[in-house]
Amino acid sequence: MRTELTYAATLPANTSTAVLVPGPEHLPQELFSPQEQEYITRQLGLKSTLVAINRFTHQLYLVMTEPKAKETLTQEALRKAGHALHQRLVADKVERVVLLDGADGEAALCVAEGLVLSNYAFQRYKTEKVTPPLLQSVMISGVGVSTTQVSELAHLLEAVYQTRDLINTPPNLQTATLLSEQIQEMLADTDIKIEVLDQVQIQSLKMGGLLSVNQASDESAAFIILEWKPENAANEQPVVLVGKGVVYDTGGLSLKPTPNSMDYMKSDMSGAAAVAGTLAALARNKVPQYVIGLIPATDNLISAKGFAPGDVITMHSGHTVEVLNTDAEGRLILADALHFAKRYNPALVIDIATLTGAAARAVGREGIVMMGTADDLVKTDLKLAGEMTHERLVEFPLWDEYHEHLKSEIADLKNIGGAEAGAISAGKFLEFFTNYPWVHLDIAGTAYLLSPDSYRGKHATGSSVRLLYHFLSSYATA
């Protein structure tokens, strides 16, 4: 892990320390001299939430962690406090910092989460003026936190880092085949079983959606199967995660509307990366939950041999689809994977995809669009996990009337609806290929940011990994 996160039973001497306190009355006076306490009081009177004191051998920081109206809002405020602390640590050129929480330890874990995520940097392809993050180590110390809790968080944040790395990798260095190799390398330290179906195997399965999207490419498609099945799994029927793996998307012959809209289409495999990241975190933390990941992977390019608007293709399910827009390709490859998931008799299937601009326009980068046929308890638990991680879910309806948007005169259905309810008609298309409890997460607004946003940073965010990890960790013991 590029930022080491560990537990310290005792406070190391002469190490920069951030003391977390919920209010001025909780100030640990034994840590500060009378002059320092007077200075802190003045700063708090000026509404400062972060006070820095230079001890010359090290820095001492006071971080205010006053609770908010809701616990989930307090947790998010603490992550943002971690981001603010990171900015100060960078300015002070601090390499190691200890977070000292004299309360229940929850504050230190949340601050560490925001701090470590803020310290992520993607510099793999820089050759000059490389300035890697100076902060190397974060330690948590306090009576209310355990080594196990810190280790679990460290593994989860490492998975988010790796997810971001996959998404940030440029398209010329990430074909579908290379993506499968990168995921295998990423998971090499786990007990996850990995199988990669090649072009011939995909053809034998008659995955018409994946093959059609891949038609224009000189690179083969891949279908990646990940399986985490610990001996003590709490569930016999697996939870299946399906991730959209379009490693680069031009829109095909239905070219994207403006040239710069292709600039960041390397991120169209964010769903695939999130699936790999979630399984990595589950496996490293030995979560007793049987989970399978399915990743259909291809690019969507432009050539004379590519599929075209007006084509009718036969899907893995045997159903026919009239293609009216080749830029609605994600739902085609996901549909094949969703039908393939039926062979596992799953208890629940969740797909994750940067599927529609309509979802991003509806809720912005502040939320994830959710819809599905799973029961209300599952969706409520997902929403609670979303509130806990601040990867909040907004549920859209899947009323029967939306199927009318997809009726084709010449095939079983068409791959786009009308101008209205674009995110919903995409979800309705996916629903057609399911016969099990299912949830669709459209992360188009949250997966890749063009400007910084606190600890989520800029560019790949690793959206939905923390959400799915917390949901599945609870699901395992439900």
CB 368 within 8 A of CB 443: yes
Whether 8 has a pLDDT exceeding 60, the answer reads: yes
Start-end of H helices in 130-269: 147-168, 176-186, 199-204, 208-214
The type of residue at 190 is T
What's the pLDDT at 476?
A: 56
CB 338 within 8 A of CB 402: no
Mind listing the pLDDT tens digit for each residue in 203-218? 999 999 999 999 999 9
Whether 477 has a pLDDT exceeding 90, the answer reads: no
Q: Band of the pLDDT at 39, cuts 50, 70, 90?
A: very high
Cα first-last separation, the chain = 31
- What's the average model confidence in pLDDT over 291-312? 98
Mind listing the pLDDT tens digit for each residue in 80-119? 999 999 999 999 999 999 999 877 678 999 999 999 999 9
Return the active site residues: 256, 331
Token pair belonging to 361: 């326009």
Token pair belonging to 232: 């003590």
What's the pLDDT at 433?
A: 98
Closest CA to 219 of 174, 176, 158: 176
Whether 410 has a pLDDT exceeding 90, the answer reads: yes
Token pair belonging to 258: 């403006």
Sign of CA pseudo-dihedral 239, 245, 251, 253: negative
Mind listing the pLDDT tens digit for each residue in 234-257? 999 999 999 999 999 999 999 998
CA separation for the pair 208, 411 (Å, rounded): 14
| pTM, entire model | 0.97
* Percent above pLDDT 70 for the chain: 99
Class of domain 157-475: alpha beta
Strands 239-243 and 137-141: unpaired
- Please, what is the average pLDDT of the chain? 95
CA separation for the pair 359, 444 (Å, rounded): 7
In the block, residue with structure tokens 């739902």: 331
Chain mean position to CA 36: 42
CATH number (3.40.220.10, 3.40.190.10, 1.25.40.20, 1.10.3720.10) of 4-146 reads 3.40.220.10
CA separation for the pair 158, 153 (Å, rounded): 8
φ/ψ of residue 474, rounded to 5:
-75, -40
Domains of the chain, by residue range, sit at: 4-146, 157-475
Measuring CA to CA, how many Å separate 398 from each of 386, 419, 430, 443?
Answer: 20, 17, 11, 18
Closest CA to 97 of 107, 77, 80, 111: 111
Mind listing the pLDDT tens digit for each residue in 142-156? 878 999 999 999 999
For the chain, count helices (H), then strands (E): 13, 20
Residues 343, 403, 339: CA angle, nearest 5 degrees: 10
What's the pLDDT at 140?
A: 95
Whether 281 has a pLDDT exceeding 80, the answer reads: yes
For 135, other C-beta atoms within 10 Å of its C-beta total: 23
CA separation for the pair 433, 340 (Å, rounded): 9
Question: Which residues have a Cβ under 8 Å from the Cβ of 291 and sit 6 or more positions away?
Answer: 227, 228, 229, 238, 239, 240, 241, 278, 279, 282, 472
DSSP secondary structure code for residue 29 in this structure: G
Q: Band of the pLDDT at 2, cuts 50, 70, 90?
A: confident
Q: Band of the pLDDT at 28, cuts 50, 70, 90?
A: confident
What's the pLDDT at 29?
A: 86
CA separation for the pair 166, 179 (Å, rounded): 8
Closest CA to 433 of 339, 318, 314: 339
What's the pLDDT at 1?
A: 59
CA separation for the pair 142, 256 (Å, rounded): 52
Whether 478 has a pLDDT exceeding 60, the answer reads: no
Mind listing the pLDDT tens digit for each residue in 257-278? 877 889 999 999 999 999 999 9
Measuring CA to CA, how many Å separate 224 from each of 241, 249, 328, 458?
Answer: 12, 19, 21, 28
Of residues 443 and 65, more confidence is placed in 443
Mind listing the pLDDT tens digit for each residue in 361-400? 999 999 999 999 999 999 999 999 999 999 999 999 999 9
The type of residue at 392 is R
Secondary element (H or E) of residue 101? strand 96-101
Burial (CB count within 10 angstroms: exposed 0-12, middle 13-18, buried 19+), residue 271: buried
Chain mean position to CA 158: 12
DSSP secondary structure code for residue 220 in this structure: P
CA separation for the pair 362, 30 (Å, rounded): 51
B/e letters for 24-53, b = 16+ CB within 10 Å, e = fewer, are eeebeeebbeeebeeebeebbeeeebebbb
